[in-house]
Structure 1
Amino acid sequence: MPAGRWVAAIVSALVLWTGAPVSAEPVPEPDGYRTEDYRAAVPATLKGARVVSTEETVDLWKNKRALFVDVLPYDPKPKNLPAGTIWKEKIRQDIPGSIWLANVGYGVLNKEMETYFRDGLKSRLGDDRDRLVLFYCQKDCWMSWNAAKRAVEWGYRAVLWYPPGTDGWMAAGQPTQRNVPWGF
């Protein structure tokens, strides 16, 4: 089978297996932040940060060598819901010991959310901008890419990005724990 047809067959098999389209083309790293379609294929790189594999992430976690930052979005229960409204709280299972800084991975942050992000990092890192800090969300989620990029721009010098997020972590049979967003 010619190489082109072989690649097409693999891509077709992945689409059938995952139910999602798979691009054979690499995703280019944008200059700015991603501001829409946050659940999509991500680049393989992030300037100023180091991309880590599941194996490296497990080692960092087991040896407590990095601050783990979950940036999955969170919608709290709205205040003043009409009586009788049913609200199902989102339960987050993430990497044990992580700080969940919810909603900090959007491409545009207002001043309140930027302050929340900075304060959350400072709550665990103090003024240490050289400590390893690992950002993650879920597979194919730009939230962690945006958050890690922002940390690099703020002067953090040991930023790690784990693109597979909790999906890759759980697929590797690693433990999770229920978490709640910091400061909510």
Structure 2
Amino acid sequence: MKFLATAIVGAFVVEVEPQVDERGLFARTFCAEMFAAQGLPSHYPQCNVSMNHSRGTLRGLHFQAEPGKEAKLVRATRGTVYDVAVDLRPDSPSHLQWASVELSADRRNAFAIPAGCAHGFLTLEDGCELIYHMSSIYAPDLARGVRWDDPLFGIDWPFSPVVIGERDATYPSFNQEMVR
């Protein structure tokens, strides 16, 4: 695996290095030792799946407040998405910066997002599915969100969403109190 740094401190694009032969391919997608060496979680007690029917579906920007901050390892298992993380950690050198990666089932790449960041994505084709590995168990009372188009972040989405859930469409603009 290759770990490519992003604009967010501690966030990486994880690329696989497939071994290809006449049978197909084989690639390592996770190694606790390699992840720990990058300062990433090496234990993920929860895994979720997100199925999205239509191109232009937006989910996010989601995060959990203290003490339930969660790191995420996100991978597209079907289709292609524009995946975004925003650094909400007040003491981070990349505070309020964002990073994006095009996750593709064909490329088998992943986005390792540190705890304390908001996360969202926009589907670039119909029938996208993502797998999320979470570093902590979901706590509904700590679940938060912030506007996907908050001008404070200035995220350069490839196009405006076509499908967005009511909860995601009505999140407020960011303020630092949200993360506490």
Decide: shared fold, TM above 0.5: no
Q: Give the TM-score normalised by the residue count of structure 2.
A: 0.25
Richer in strand (by share): 2
The TM-score, its normalising length taken from structure 1, stands at 0.25
Query: Which structure dedicates a bigger proportion of its chain to helix?
Result: 1
Larger radius of gyration: 1
